[in-house]
Copies of this chain bind each other. A is one copy, B any other.
Amino acid sequence: MRKLKLAVLGASGAVGREMLRLLEEYQIPVEELRLLAGPNSAGTKIPFRGKMHTVRCADEESFAGLDYVLGASDAPVSRRFAPAIKQSGAVYIDNSSAFRLEHGVPLVVPEINGQDAFTHEGIIANPNCSTIITLMAVAAVHRLSPIRSMVVSTYQAVSGAGVQGLRELEDQLAAWVQGQEAKPSVFSAPIAMNLIPMIGGELDGGYTDEEMKMQNEGRRILHAPELTVSCTCVRVPVMRSHSISVNLWTEEAVSVDEARRAIAAFPGCRLADNGRPTPLEAGGQDLVLVGRIREDLTRPKGLSLWCCGDQIRKGAAANALQIMKLLEEV
């Protein structure tokens, strides 16, 4: 691979820092690295390949001469800088939700629809974390027979709320062990020893934007414009891996054995040896672990399964770097 000139936008957050760790782990050749963030994080020092790098305040001039900008910011920041990035000629691989449903912006999970990445016009969107992990688990089944609908319940780690989400769970658990009260600040209720059955903002009909991503983004990634997904997103007191309980229905029946074989052979997936993968096992690596594959009991042509994946890695940073590798290695 050629040596790349890269920027990470939102470098000081949980996903930005993971992108830097993964650039090291994947041994991506880097000629130049710019760490960019908002004014509050400017000056932060972050190690990369043995040297400390200083985060600088992003502005419209920050992107000149780059090959890629890896976006780890939120959607408003992404929208603000996208025109400047596009103008600079860098390819913008954006982890925010800003452009995921935009025409001309491919929404890519490399193992599923990698070919879509090559149609980009300067921006490639990285899907929602729960959506990536769920679709990785079911994509092999979708290739056997198209998925028509899914009922999904998530068990989402606190890392989905960034560094502050991680710290809030740690602090609340420490308080709980000492018999003190856990005061919520990032989340709407205590998360230690508790569950919060709503993630994201509520839309008409009662679903949240987070819940609708599974259907809206799933349709684009699977090339299945008629796909319907009924999703319930739940925050659980787990650090960094999301888990998802899925029931799905296909056009033609797929047996449990067929599904098991196809999932085992799908790149980026692993069938759990004991059939019941846990989020702890999924943490710190890129594979999506799948288990509990059963026939759905409510309707014909249905399957039920469980999957776990590291939210910060395959759910975000790893998927973004995999998109970059895909574009570079062709």
Q: Which residues does A use to contact B, with CB under 8 Å?
A: 149-151, 153, 155, 173-174, 176-177, 188-190, 193-198, 202, 205-207, 215, 228-230, 232, 234, 236-239, 243, 245, 247, 249, 256, 275-281, 291-299, 302, 304, 306, 308
Q: Which residues of chain B are within 8 angstroms of A277 by Cβ–Cβ distance?
A: 197
Are B237 and A237 in contact, CB atoms less than 8 angstroms apart? yes
* Residue of chain B at shortest CB distance from A232: B245
Q: Which residues of chain B are within 8 angstroms of A239 by Cβ–Cβ distance?
A: 193
Are B149 and A292 in contact, CB atoms less than 8 angstroms apart? no
Are A236 and B280 in contact, CB atoms less than 8 angstroms apart? no
Are B149 and A299 in contact, CB atoms less than 8 angstroms apart? yes
Are A151 and B193 in contact, CB atoms less than 8 angstroms apart? no
Which single member of B195, B215, B296 contacts A155 (CB below 8 Å)?
B195
Q: Which residues of chain B are within 8 angstroms of A281 by Cβ–Cβ distance?
A: 189
Q: How far is the CB of A170 from chain B (nearest CB, A)?
A: 8
Are A194 and B278 in contact, CB atoms less than 8 angstroms apart? yes
How many copies altogether?
2
**Interface SS, A side:** mixed
* Residue of chain B at shortest CB distance from A149: B298
Q: Which residues of chain B are within 8 angstroms of A150 by Cβ–Cβ distance?
A: 298
Given known A-B contacts A173-B177, A189-B280, A190-B280, A234 and B228 have beta carbons under 8 A apart: no
Are B229 and A194 in contact, CB atoms less than 8 angstroms apart? no
- Chosen A-B contacts, 11 in total, with CB atoms closer than 8 Å, are A151-B296, A153-B153, A155-B155, A197-B243, A197-B278, A197-B291, A198-B275, A206-B293, A230-B296, A234-B306, A245-B245
Known: A194-B279, A202-B275. 7 other contacts (CB 8 A): A155-B234, A188-B276, A189-B281, A194-B238, A195-B278, A195-B279, A197-B245
CA distance A230 to B194 in the complex (A): 25
Q: How far is the CB of A93 from chain B (nearest CB, A)?
A: 30
CA distance A112 to B206 in the complex (A): 27
Are A196 and B297 in contact, CB atoms less than 8 angstroms apart? no
Q: Which residues of chain B are within 8 angstroms of A302 by Cβ–Cβ distance?
A: 230
Which single member of B173, B249, B275, B306 contacts A232 (CB below 8 Å)?
B306
Q: Which residues of chain B are within 8 angstroms of A190 by Cβ–Cβ distance?
A: 278, 280
Are B189 and A298 in contact, CB atoms less than 8 angstroms apart? no
Are A197 and B276 in contact, CB atoms less than 8 angstroms apart? yes
Which single member of B173, B229, B232, B292 contacts A292 (CB below 8 Å)?
B232
Are B237 and A151 in contact, CB atoms less than 8 angstroms apart? no
Q: Which residues of chain B are within 8 angstroms of A232 by Cβ–Cβ distance?
A: 245, 292, 304, 306
CA distance A137 to B33 in the complex (A): 54
CA distance A193 to B240 in the complex (A): 9
Max chain B Cβ within 10 angstroms of own Cβ: one of A193, A234, A302: A193
Are B230 and A234 in contact, CB atoms less than 8 angstroms apart? no
* Residue of chain B at shortest CB distance from A292: B197
CA distance A202 to B232 in the complex (A): 26
Q: Which residues of chain B are within 8 angstroms of A205 by Cβ–Cβ distance?
A: 294-295
Q: How far is the CB of A168 from chain B (nearest CB, A)?
A: 13
Q: Which 3 A-B pairs have the closest CB atoms?
A: A149-B298, A153-B153, A153-B245
